Amino acid sequence: MLVDFNKIDEVANPRFKGGEGDTMFRTFNDGVNKIMRGRLEPGCSIGLHTHETNSEIIYIISGDARCLYDDGEERLAAGQSHYCPKGHSHSLINASATEPLLFFAVVPEQ
């Protein structure tokens, strides 16, 4: 099944999960999985949140990211992934002062 993000409207989510600025998403949701292509401009972030009922996989397409994960921090670059299992907390932060952070994320609805 083809999911063409170029044909899905990009939607701004201000202060998503308590983060800074706007998180931009193009989202496909079939009720079983939420599949997203996202963008964070410099200075923007997704706030720290806990995945109580599902997990999340984030793949960095381009840019540099900081990811707060439970009590630690990870740095991510293009070609790397972050996995947040059910019951754990994370956030995503654009670590660049000049470039957008582009990412792909999958949240299976469990």
CB 21 within 8 A of CB 43: yes
- Average pLDDT of the chain? 97
pLDDT-based confidence at residue 109 (cuts at 50, 70, 90) = confident
**Tens digit of each residue's pLDDT (9 = 90 or more) over 14-57:** 999 999 999 999 999 999 999 999 999 999 999 999 999 999 99
Percent of the chain with pLDDT over 90: 98
Q: Measured between alpha carbons, how far is 41 from 70 in angstroms, rounded to an integer? A: 24
For the record, the structure tokens of 30 come out as 């079939």
What is the DSSP code (8-state) at residue 52?
Answer: S
Residue 38 CB: number of other CB atoms within 10 A? 21
Would the pLDDT of 110 be above 90? Answer: no
64: pLDDT strictly greater than 90: yes
CATH 2.60.120.10 fits 11-96, yes or no: yes
Domain range summary for the chain, segments of one domain joined by +: 11-96
8, 34, 43, 62, 63 from 55: Cα distances, Å: 23, 11, 25, 22, 23
